[in-house]
Amino acid sequence: MPGGRRNPFSVSHIIERVEDAVQNAKSNPHDMASIVHMHKKQNSFDVRYVDLQIQFIGASGLPKMDVVGSADPYFVAKIDNKISFVSNVKSDTLAPIWNEMWRIKHVPTTAELQVEVLDKDEGAPHDDYVGKFKTTVSPGAKEVEIEGPLLKLRRSRGTFWIKIESKPSSDPRAPELPYLFDGPIRFSRHYSPTVGLLTNLDDARLYSTWKIYIIGVPLYFRDRYQPWNRSYKAAQSIFQGPTSLAVRSGIQAGHRMLYARTANNGFGLIENPSEIFKILHGGASRPGAQSGAQFAHRVKPAVYTYIISAEDDSFRFSETGAAFFVDFASKHALHSNCAEQVRYSGDDDTPDDQVQWELVIDNNLDYSPDPTMLPDLKELLEQNFHGFTILALSFEDPQLKESREACRAYALKYRGVEQSELQPHAGAGEVTLCHQASARAQEAESGGEPPATEA
């Protein structure tokens, strides 16, 4: 382009670079390796990186997907298949408005944004495919046509609106840490299918799991992952031996049921400490339990089981005494979907907003979290959960046991928590998640049922 910068990806430019490298190699054949290395390091085809903010505004003209009603659309967005974003489900609409934000740092300017629109089909083995589109990550407002399946007569499946803001990445580590999630911190709350019609969902804490998309996991953990603990008996039953496949199948079916994306999921953003406190508010926890109802708007001191997923760097947790853990070989494997490695895992004690308790977090036995990473874990959580005092203790530290027992004693004495809530158990007549998951796993084996979509 006259007066402008040459396109580094043009064929002529690439050929010139290759020819220059060859000539240099011929003139100094003894230094071939250093020439190739220097050429690769200095040029790298001039890849530039940008920091993006993508606003998914909404869509219109979606096709009617259900016999009764219209559609319950949501979308899955990916950049170069390296990082993904899953939206909320919008109920009964052909013109959904999302207005959801996604910030990503260190994205190559050559990257491509792919979006797939789906219709949530409650009770079905899989969700209906609506269509997809692709676009560059160049800045500006965009109106994009959603393309349906090739074999459909009507290829156009509506219109999608997005807005992309872009600025050059200033961090010199961009090539080492590409596609870095930068917020906002989002959460989803999932209700166990064991709840059924037995209880008010708003009070069903022991039937809930949470997933929080936290910022900066690669910054603190880099390429470190924690494998399953080969010396731990419960983990051995899941990952090795003749019966391990059956054990995994049941746990994975339970995970899909527990984390399935539905219109009833709770969704929200975490922008300040008060929003974390709302997530951790207490209340009656089991069907018919009323003893803790007066504390519904106070933080419930509790011990939680957590993992940081190797799949999407999400922080997943639930109360250690959650009813859906009954009969499962591993609480952590249920959260991780039997992944052979996680970023980190353990248990944590929650604070009380009026007595200023601390968030105490540890490592555990199902996986093998490196205790030397606990300071990094502490910094990571401090970055994401401002306003909390966070302690990171090894599971071998006597202070951890004291903290956990103090948390439970306080909950029993001052928060109306019942002793039975401290460990997983099923009430009379309750069908456990493990039982349902085993039946679902057998169905899948016989009928080829695909997994449900996760949030």
- Assess whether pLDDT exceeds 70 at residue 330: yes
322-331 as b/e, with b when 16 or more CB fall inside 10 Å?
Answer: bbbbbebbbb
Torsion of CA 265, 268, 270, 272, to 10 degrees: -120
**Average pLDDT for residues 332-344, to the nearest whole number?**
89
Angle at 311 between CA 144 and CA 378, to 5 degrees: 115
Residues 60-95: pLDDT tens digits?
A: 999 987 777 789 999 999 999 999 999 999 988 999
Do the Cβ atoms of 146 and 117 come closer than 8 Å? yes
pLDDT of residue 355: 53
**Average pLDDT for residues 426-441, to the nearest whole number?**
59
Cα–Cα distance list, 196 to 137, 159, 287 (Å): 43, 37, 10
pLDDT of residue 54: 98
Residues 392-430: pLDDT tens digits?
A: 888 888 887 787 777 777 667 766 666 666 665 555 555
- Assess whether pLDDT exceeds 90 at residue 53: yes
pLDDT of residue 248: 87
386, with CB counted inside 10 A (0-12, 13-18, 19+), is: exposed
Torsion of CA 8, 9, 11, 13, to 10 degrees: 10
Q: Which residue has the tokens 């601390």?
A: 358
Tell which wins on pLDDT, 444 or 238: 238
**Count, residues in the chain:** 455
- Report which of 172, 136, 131 is spatially closest to residue 149, judged by C-alpha positions: 131
- Report which of 215, 197, 216, 217 is spatially closest to residue 207, judged by C-alpha positions: 197
Task: Please give the backbone phi and psi of residue 385, each rounded to the nearest 5 degrees, phi first.
Answer: -120, 75
**Average pLDDT for residues 202-218, to the nearest whole number?**
77
CB atoms within 10 A of CB 358: 15
187-225 as b/e, with b when 16 or more CB fall inside 10 Å?
Answer: bbbbbbbbbeeebeeebbbbbbbbbbbbbbbbebbeeeb
CA distance 77 to 227: 29
3-state class (DSSP) for residue 193: coil
12, with CB counted inside 10 A (0-12, 13-18, 19+), is: exposed
Angle at 236 between CA 231 and CA 238, to 5 degrees: 150
Two tokens at 215? 């910022």
pLDDT of residue 81: 95
User: What residues form DSSP beta bridges with 428?
Assistant: none
CA distance 408 to 415: 10
CA distance 274 to 137: 34
Two tokens at 331? 């609480």
Q: By mean pLDDT, which of 187-191, 247-251, 284-288, 347-351 is the weakest?
A: 284-288
Chain Cα centroid distance, residue 319? 18
CA distance 187 to 278: 12
Q: Which residue has the tokens 């064929």?
A: 11
3-state class (DSSP) for residue 447: helix
CA distance 121 to 316: 24
Please report which confidence band the pLDDT of residue 315 belongs to, taking 50, 70 and 90 as the band edges: very high
- 34-38, 132-136, 270-274, 337-341: range with highest mean pLDDT: 132-136
CA distance 196 to 324: 12
pLDDT of residue 292: 43
Please report which confidence band the pLDDT of residue 16 belongs to, taking 50, 70 and 90 as the band edges: low
CA distance 401 to 393: 10
Cα–Cα distance list, 430 to 195, 294, 329, 396, 433 (Å): 9, 25, 19, 36, 9
Under 8 Å CB-to-CB from 309, ≥6 apart: which residues? 315, 316, 335, 336, 339, 342, 343
